[in-house]
Amino acid sequence: MIIITLSRVVRTIALLLACLSTFHAVAEHPDLHVRERVIIAGSVTLGDAPTRLADQLGLFAGAGAEVEVTSYSSGAAALNELLQRRADFALTSAAPFAAALLQQEKTAVVDGEELVVLARISRSNNTHHVVVASADADFPPGQLVGRRIGVMPGTTSEYFWAGYAPLHGIAQADVQLALLDVDAMTAALRARDIDAAVVWDPWPRRIRDALGGELALLSDSRIDSMSWLLVTRRLMVEQHPQLCDGILRAYLRAEEIIHDDPARARGLEADASGLSLGYVQRLAGDFIFSLGLDWSLLSEINHHVAWRLAQAGGDSDFVFAPERYLAPEPLARVAPIRMLLPRYWQQDAAR
Amino acid sequence: MMLRRIIRVCLGASALGVAALGVTIVLAWGSLREQQQSLLHIYAIQQRMATLSQGINHLLLQDQPAWSARVLVAEARQLASAMGLINYRDADAASQFLLELEGNIAAIAELAQQKLSATEQASVRHAQGILVNQVRAHEAGLNVAAQAVLGNHYSGVEQAVYRVILTLFAMALALAALSLAGFALLFRRIDQPLNALNEGISALQQGRRDQPIVVSARDEFGDLAEGFNHMLGSLRNHEETVQQQQRSLALALAQQQAILDTLPANIALLDSDGKVLDTNSGWQAFARDNDYREADQGRERNYLAVCDTATGADAEIAAEVAKGLRGILSGESGANSFTLTYPCHSPDEQRWFRLMATPLVDGGQHRGAVVMHIDVTERELAELALERTAYEDPVTGLPSRAGFGKQLQDTPLPASPGEAFYILLCDVRKLNDINQNCGYLAGDHLLRALGQRLAENLVSGERIGSMSSGQFVLLIDHRQRGLTTPGEIWAWLDTLIDLPFFVDQHTLYIDLTLGLTLCDSSARGHEELLRHGQLALQTARERGERWVAFDPALEKRVQDRIWTTVGLRNALAERHFELHYQPKVNLADGQVTSAEALLRWRHPILGLRPPDSFIPVAESSQLIVPIGEWVLREACESLSFWQKQGLHAARIAVNVSMVQFMQSDVPAMVSRILDDVGIDPSALSLEITESVFEQESEHLLRQMEALQALGVRLSLDDFGTGFSSLSHLRRYPFDEIKIDRSFIRDCTENSHSRGIVEVIMGLAANLGCSVVAEGVETVAQRDLLLQLGCTIGQGYFYSMPLTGEDFYWLLSSSSHLPLNEQAKITEVKI
């Protein structure tokens, strides 16, 4: 059974309402006003390391863009900054993005205000973990049956848990899901409101540091799929292509540095994130920093949307066209080799 | 830099560039091959990726039969392995993708095998969807990584190709630039000097030889220009030299022409046909003087034709000239010149001309001749005068010795005794007295008168000449005169000079000495006849006879004298002389007191020769001086030797001739030898014959006094037979008198001889001289001499002259002479 606290429900509803109001407001203002300093909203996940590296090394400025990077606890929060027009670009995983798209599909959105993905900057299949307050390091997943599991709704943690449970023979009914913000996971575990929390790196380290106790960390890379996306609005792509190109070039340059000088990149990431260098090094092995836009992302977004629709009870008449939410033009200009979308999809997107 | 060096540098640089280009091409080819291999490898990877992608699609479409998970995993591993070969960071990412892909594919396969309930299947499908997306994402990532890898490799290939192209282009550009620079440099180094050379050569062709080529480069062109300028300078110098030579030649020709014109000769230049090409002024003047009226004065006329057509008195000479000239012109004569002296029959005076024709030869070809007529009249006249002087005695006007000899040569020698004639040579005795008394002019007049008298008395066929001053030569046909013997001929001649000659107010009588020889056959030549006459005349003079006819013995005696002289020189050099010693003995007891050294000549062929056979010859040939010195030194050394041997030899005596006193410094010679040998001067006696007084002189006296001063004893040899006089004995410082053997020989029988010996003994006693008796041969003579007071003697009674060894033995044996015991004296009464 799923336990949903009132405050969390209110907060989620408020968030959705805010998104809707934002879409509405955008629909009334088709011309995008760009700030003097472009704001990119990111999060603490290591998948967002290229953003911090480009910011630290001034790569955005070198690419012709005055950028300010802001960081949030999750990609959903960062995306919310974009939706609230407090940011121009956001870095988020596919799960919040799919949720936002699904919301946009259900509401009228002025042309150009729809969210679009410029590129996937990183991905990982080993960044989500089930953190269990247990001294047994080899805590078997089957013992989660009957436990209270904390997940953050609208994020990949929820998506991960949905794949992890059946893969380890855990039926949804065997556990109680507690929908919590990731910031609240630590307190919930401390309060034993939940037995386990599905979080992403670096939250397990933070929880351990906060709780100080022994924790079991359950992972499964097979169904751990997280793509870290650079998202903006369509108008930004259409009206400020040079800005978009410059930002993509900065990400490409940061990616080169990560690959060519990983020690330096990890050191900078450690400085920027406040994590220890050793932890950053361990996490880095679980991430693939490869800027790109390919058909698998379409499939992934489509799968997220389909899963979320299925979670909501399903809508047989709903036809989702994920290509509408991709903006391949900047990447096709900056790094065409990284753009692997089928041509007819690109043409559809153009239409 | 020299052009050759520049060209070598260019060629070297070009070769280096071509080599570098070749190396670059080879390296580029290798690089391209390597890139090609990489491309092939990438192409294979692409094929694998396409295959894997196709397999994944099949898997996602549940096309299990075609692509099982296991096969895909294996394929993914192979692809990872293949990509691992690519050294690029994207390959690592691709490998990571593939590894994860492998896990996802395996998970899909695992889920597919689970048997789930209907409610669980929905969750499983969600997981499957995630997995499928994973696979898709991995495939996409793989594609991106692979594309990155491929792109990088394509970029690498492209860059490699670009590098190759750029390198080749750069090399080609560098090579071209280098070549251009080299050619530009060469052009720059060649163009200017080449133009300068062309201008210089053009200037030279236009005759401007004062325009040197200015090339500043220090290369081959500089050398060429320097050589050209040097050649130009040489050419100018050569031209100046040629001009100077032309001027000199013109001057020389003018001078030569002037010389030719001033030569006292008529000169014409003929061609090979004899045509006159040119003449000198003398020829032209001769032509004018002889009224040669043609304007060219003989030029262009054929000289041979002129000679051939000559007539009259000159025709014969002209024909001879034409013949000789043709030989010269054709070269057939082989002569270098043709010369002919011919008389010119001028009506005014007799003149002579000498024609000289010399061929003009050029390269072995006879091109003509130079004909020269020289007036040699003066020379001919001079030669006639010279001939007259040479063949005529200026004093008597008679043929001189040469003239007479020439006449004698012209006289045929008798072919038979019936054609015999006499050659007489006579000279005037004491002509010197006439010259000194009456003057040489009178002497000359006398000789001329004598010659005239002799010539006037010659008959046909007889000839007379003057051999020298005061000596006449005659060829007498005695048969025609009826004279048969030399005495009759002398008598005829004597009658001719019997009458006096009146010369320069002097009445002179002369006497002649005649030598004559009969020429009765042609066995003797003319010169030999004259020489035989001279020999007969010389013999007559020596003998003091009025005439002597030639006899072959006379010639033999002369020849003997000559050969003896030669033999003496050889004997002196070869030490063929030796001394024999005749002991001088105390007549009382026969003891040897001293010895007289006597010279002997041991001739290698004739054996031992007595002094009479060669001493006169030695005296006449001046060999007596070295021979006498040898005798004196040998005798002194023998005496010294004997004395050193402790033998009783008080003194040695050596004969000295008058010639030695006349031709040498005898005291100096004696002093030098005495010093050399080291004997007491008083042990040496020099025996001097009375003949020295025939030519008594102060010189002789001074030498004898000098000898006496040296302490040498002087002995008067052969006293009583010659020119000795009491005044001689008084004047000359003799220590000893040797009584001639002629007085000793018959002193025992002839009272006059005994008386002479007694007088000599008394004279010697009065003069304080010792006496030596020569030629003691008998006991009676010894005894008589002892009775007369003569104590020293020598002669065969005691000993004949002994060789050195025998005399040494005699001294060493202390024997008393004579060795015959019966002859020894038992009692002597004085």
Q: What number is the ipTM of this complex?
A: 0.72
B140 and A165 within 8 Å at the Cβ level: the answer is no
pLDDT tops 70 at residue A160: yes
Name the pairing type of β-strands A89-93 and A226-233: antiparallel
Mean pLDDT across B322-348: 81
Q: Which residues of B are less than 8 Å from A166 in CB distance?
A: 116, 120, 123-124, 126-127
Q: Give backbone dihedrals phi and psi of A217, rounded to 5 degrees, phi first.
A: -115, 115
Provide the shortest C-alpha distance from residue A160 to chain B (in Å).
9
pLDDT of B459-479, one tens digit each? 988 999 999 888 999 999 988
> Which pLDDT band holds residue B561 (cuts at 50, 70, 90)?
confident
Q: Which range is most confident: A249-258, B260-269, B361-370, B642-651?
A: A249-258
B127 and A123 within 8 Å at the Cβ level: the answer is no
Report the percent of chain B where pLDDT is more than 70: 83
Mean pLDDT across B501-525: 88
Tokens of residue B121, six digits: 């299947």
Q: Which residues of B are less than 8 Å from A296 in CB distance?
A: 133, 136-141
Taking any CB pair shorter than 8 Å as contact, residues of chain A touching chain B are 123, 125, 159, 162-167, 171-172, 221-223, 225, 227, 259-260, 288, 290, 292, 294-297, 299-300, 303, 306-307, 310, 337-338, 340
- Indicate the angle between helix axes B698-710 and B666-677, nearest 10 degrees: 20
> Which DSSP state fits B413?
P
Q: Give yes or no for B137 touching A (CB within 8 A).
A: yes
pLDDT of B211-220, one tens digit each? 788 777 777 7
Q: Which residues of B are less than 8 Å from A227 in CB distance?
A: 137
pLDDT tops 50 at residue A20: no
Mean pLDDT across B723-749: 85
| Dihedral over alpha carbons A319, A320, A321, A323 (to 10 degrees) | -170
Q: Which residues of A are less than 8 Å from B122 in CB distance?
A: 310
Q: Which residues of A are less than 8 Å from B60 in CB distance?
A: none
Most B-contacting residue of A260, A289, A296, A326 (CB-CB within 10 A), to test interface: A296
Residues B532, B535: Cα–Cα separation, whole Å: 5
Q: Which residues of B are less than 8 Å from A225 in CB distance?
A: 130, 133-134, 137
Tokens of residue B755, six digits: 């008386």
Q: Which residues of A are less than 8 Å from B134 in CB distance?
A: 125, 222-223, 225
pLDDT of A299-335, one tens digit each? 888 888 888 888 877 666 777 777 788 898 899 889 8
Number of other residues whose CB lies within 10 A of the CB of residue A228 = 29
If you measure CA to CA, which chain B residue comes closest to A298? B133
A299 and B100 within 8 Å at the Cβ level: the answer is no
Task: Among A125, A166, A303, select the one facing B100 at the smallest CB separation.
Answer: A125
Bridge partners for B503 per DSSP? B506
Task: Give the DSSP per-residue string, A186-246.
Answer: HHHHHTTS-SEEEEETTHHHHHHHHH-S--EEE--TTT--EEEEEEEEHHHHHH-HHHHHH
All domains of chain A, ordered by start, with CATH? 2-125+226-350 (3.40.190.10), 128-218 (3.40.190.10)
Bridge partners for A90 per DSSP? A41, A231
A123 and B111 within 8 Å at the Cβ level: the answer is no
Residues B451, B444: Cα–Cα separation, whole Å: 10
Contact B489, B424 (CB under 8 A): yes
B120 and A225 within 8 Å at the Cβ level: the answer is no
Q: Give backbone dihedrals phi and psi of B318, rounded to 5 degrees, phi first.
A: -60, -40
Q: Which residues of B are less than 8 Å from A221 in CB distance?
A: 100, 103
A-B C-beta contacts closer than 8 Å = 100
Provide the shortest C-alpha distance from residue A170 to chain B (in Å).
9
Mean pLDDT across B178-191: 78
B141 and A303 within 8 Å at the Cβ level: the answer is no
Q: Which residues of A are less than 8 Å from B129 in CB distance?
A: 303, 306-307
If you measure CA to CA, which chain A residue comes closest to B110? A167
Task: Among A163, A338, A340, select the one facing B130 at the smallest CB separation.
Answer: A163
Task: Among A166, A300, A310, select the one facing B133 at the smallest CB separation.
Answer: A300
Residues B142, B108: Cα–Cα separation, whole Å: 19
Provide the shortest C-alpha distance from residue A29 to chain B (in Å).
36
> What local confidence, expressed as pLDDT, does residue A350 receive?
47
Mean pLDDT across A141-149: 91
pLDDT of B772-801, one tens digit each? 999 999 999 999 999 999 999 999 999 999
Tokens of residue B351, six digits: 């003149």
Contact A96, A198 (CB under 8 A): no
Q: Which of B444, B446, B405 is nearest to B425 (CA)?
A: B405
Q: Which residues of A are less than 8 Å from B103 in CB distance?
A: 221-222
> What local confidence, expressed as pLDDT, does residue B560 receive?
86
Mean pLDDT across B319-323: 88
